Amino acid sequence: MLGLLLTVLRYLFLFLLYAFLFVVVRQMFLGLRENPTPAAAEGGPGSDTKPFPGYREATVSKPSGRLVVLASPDPRLEKGMTFYLGERITLGRGEHNDLVIPDPFSSQEHAVIFSRGDQYWVQDLGSLNGTYLNEVRLDRPTVLADGDRLRIGGVTFQFVRWAYEVESS
Amino acid sequence: MFFPRAYHLRAVEGKLLFWAFAYLLVGAGALYFLKPAPSTAVVLVGALTTMAAFWGLHFFWSWTGFVGDPFLLPLVALFSSTSLVFLYRLNPAYAFRQFVWLMIGLFTLWVITRFLIRYRVLADYKYVYALAGVIGLLLPIFFGVEQGGAKSWLDLGLFQVQPSEFVKILLVLFLAAFLAENRLALAEGTRTIMGVALPAPQEWGPLLVMWGISLLLLVFQKDLGAALIYFTTFLAMVYASTARITYVFLGGALFLAGAAGSYALFEHVRLRVEVWLNPWQYVETAGYQVVQSLFALAAGGLTGSGLGAGLPLFIPAVHTDFIFAAISEELGLAGGLGLLLIYMLFVYRGFLIALAARDDFSCLLATGFTALMGLQAFIIIAGVTKLLPLTGVTLPFVSYGGSSLVANFIILGLLLNISHETQLLKPLENG
């Protein structure tokens, strides 16, 4: 009797190893099929957490713009990546920035984009290699307009305002 | 606070932990019914305590909204379960010690995921790691005790520490910080010699110096396994950061030269290679271990002899380096392959974490740690199955050994912290 129980347990042990493997692989597979941008699906507009200074839901009342990556030599900023602008976001090579620019020609604290009224302003923070707006080097805080090209080192962004919002304002 | 993402991830983790614990409990049950006695009931207590410790960590993460990878902890729970079950079966005294080390390891993991969540500060101290690593390797040469032909243990009275297990973490930290800073220069080169773009000496110099020192030390310590792991991890990280296959070929050539040189110079290396080529001529002496391991693998067959029914104790050092042979004997080819698959899944998750990481340092750190784990598992399993010459290293998370286990839990903690940060930053980008 004990021998039988032992045999059953031994096979069950091996079986459970494979059961575990099956469940793990199945969960990984489900994870792959899931929407890769979970914030939009699960965070939702009602989410009360706001851990990301650069991140803001699209609302009509506040000014909302975004930066779209046009060109970047570093694979971590891919062409087409979009960053939503908040009240104030900092750009630079340092990890503490809201938008990290992984480019050797970017300074630690390179530039800042902030909103005043319903407009966005960009200001260079005394960077070594400069911030270029439409290939003109910034020497003072400047208002951003829809379609403007912002370049830091080898990374180029396009500034985009929400189309419907431009009409309403 | 409520994090829906964290809730989802931790729910997956909980579900997988449940299966790992079913496995552990059945294993412990089998051990109990092998010798049903009140004194044997301690395995059941040990299994339940281990479960409680893993669950505790899991609930702590759920509570704090930790969004680290949900697969790594269950995979490690399965390794630890296998480790405890087999060590108890081989020698209960080892299982008790391993159990204590496991608790220390889980505590370390908790400390790292609780207090080192901003792991990026680690990038600022790279030359401290280089120095600490060199000291860690030097200490056993002067104050070490020799075990199994390698002089790499420090005797601290109560227990022994193997510094090289921790030095490998320092090596990966140093390389990740250094390569992240000099990646572009190494990848593209700053000067051209005979049509080949080469980086300047100040870029690769520190790498080579660090490298030479560790290799020399390892030659003096005779710890071939550690040297092999360091070198392959180093190559993997250099390749990951520069994407230049030239460095791999160059490194491979250097390695072959080093291997040939040590074959000519050192008696113990020559013996290892000869045993690998033909263990049967040394069946009573140096080849005994490998031959017994091969017998054990053959005796296992497809589904093994069953837990507790094999004869793995004929293999010397079966509880550390050769635990894979014991597992394959008692769980058969099926069990051995199952364990290999779990290592592969661990490596897969590790590389996914590296690919998703947001900056060079995190990416290289995750790559280095994952490569380290994968290569270490490969090297020892290849040694046990006589695919490669045997070099004594531990099977990560499974072999008996406190230093190795705690070091692996530190690596696990850092991997989880990297994936936690990546998951947190995900909403910043759209599509």
pLDDT tens for each residue of A33-86: 764 443 333 333 333 343 444 443 433 344 578 888 888 888 788 777 888 787
- With CB atoms and an 8 Å threshold, state whether B16 touches A76: no
Whether residue B227 has pLDDT greater than 90: no
Q: Which residue has the tokens 């091996």?
A: A14
Confidence of residue B378 (pLDDT cuts 50, 70, 90): very high
Which of the listed ranges A37-51, A59-73, B184-198, B243-257 does the model predict with the highest average pLDDT? B243-257
Using a CB-CB distance cutoff of 8 angstroms, which residues of chain A are in contact with residue B359?
Answer: 76, 95, 100, 102
Whether residue A114 has pLDDT greater than 90: no
Confidence of residue B198 (pLDDT cuts 50, 70, 90): low
Confidence of residue B350 (pLDDT cuts 50, 70, 90): very high
Mapping DSSP to helix (H, G, I), strand (E, B) and coil, where does residue B90 land? helix
Question: Are B115 and B100 in contact, with CB atoms under 8 Å apart?
Answer: no
The size of chain B, in residues, is 431
The size of chain A, in residues, is 169
Question: Are B94 and B400 in contact, with CB atoms under 8 Å apart?
Answer: yes
User: What ipTM did this prediction achieve?
Assistant: 0.89
- Among B308, B321, B314, which residue's Cα sits nearest to residue B399? B321
Q: How many Å apart are CA A162 and CA B333, to the nearest integer?
A: 60
Using a CB-CB distance cutoff of 8 angstroms, which residues of chain B are in contact with residue A102?
Answer: 359-360
Higher pLDDT pick, B66 / B210: B66
3-class SS letters over B269-318: HHHHHHHHHCHHHHCCCCCHHHHHHHHHHHHHCCCCCCCCCCCHHHCCCC
- With CB atoms and an 8 Å threshold, state whether A20 touches B19: yes
Q: Report chain B's mean pLDDT, rounded to a whole number.
A: 86
The first and second tokens of residue B314, run together, are: 């004929």
Q: How many Å apart are CA B396 and CA B233, to the nearest integer?
A: 15
Q: What is the mean pLDDT of residues B268-277?
A: 87
Question: Are B204 and B181 in contact, with CB atoms under 8 Å apart?
Answer: no
Q: B44 CB near a chain A CB, below 8 Å?
A: no
Which of the listed ranges A66-70, B241-245, B343-347 does the model predict with the highest average pLDDT? B343-347
DSSP B144-209: EEEETTEEEEEE-SSSEE-HHHHHHHHHHHHHHHHHHHHHHHHHH-SEEETTEEE--HHHHHHHHH
Q: What is the mean pLDDT of residues B171-182?
A: 88
| Whole-Å CA distances, A54 to A62, A95, B56, B355, B429 | 14, 14, 34, 23, 10
Higher pLDDT pick, A121 / B419: B419
β-bridge pairing A119-124 and B150-155: unpaired
pLDDT tens for each residue of B24-53: 999 999 999 988 888 888 899 999 999 999
Q: How many Å apart are CA B33 and CA B89, to the nearest integer?
A: 12
Q: What is the mean pLDDT of residues A96-107?
A: 85
Cβ contacts of A156 within 8 Å, gap of 6 or more:
A69, A70, A71, A72, A149, A150
Which of the listed ranges A124-128, A138-142, B302-306, B416-420 does the model predict with the highest average pLDDT? B416-420
All structural domains of chain A, each given as residue ranges with its CATH number in brackets, are 65-161 (2.60.200.20)
Q: B191 CB near a chain A CB, below 8 Å?
A: no
- Residue B218 is predicted with a pLDDT of 66
Distance from CA of B212 to the nearest CA of A (A): 29
Nearest Cβ partner of A28 from B71, B308, B335?
B71
- Residue B413 is predicted with a pLDDT of 96
Q: Which letter does DSSP use for residue B212 in this model?
A: H
β-bridge pairing A88-92 and A111-116: antiparallel
- Residue B202 is predicted with a pLDDT of 64
Positive or negative, the CA dihedral B95, B99, B104, B105 is positive
Helix (H) or strand (E) holding A112: strand A111-116
- Residue A168 is predicted with a pLDDT of 40
Using a CB-CB distance cutoff of 8 angstroms, which residues of chain B are in contact with residue A97?
Answer: none
Give the E-state strand segments of A32-103 in sequence order: 65-71, 82-84, 88-92, 99-100
Whether residue B286 has pLDDT greater than 90: no
Burial A106-134 (b: 16+ CB within 10 A, else e): bbebbbbbbbeeeebbbebeebeebbbbe
Using a CB-CB distance cutoff of 8 angstroms, which residues of chain A are in contact with residue B74?
Answer: 20, 24
- With CB atoms and an 8 Å threshold, state whether A27 touches B184: no
Using a CB-CB distance cutoff of 8 angstroms, which residues of chain B are in contact with residue A155?
Answer: none
- Which segment of A40-54, B144-158, B278-292 scores lowest on mean pLDDT? A40-54
The first and second tokens of residue B164, run together, are: 């090289």
Q: Which of A2, A4, A5, A10 to mutate to test the interface with B (most CBs of B within 10 A)?
A: A10
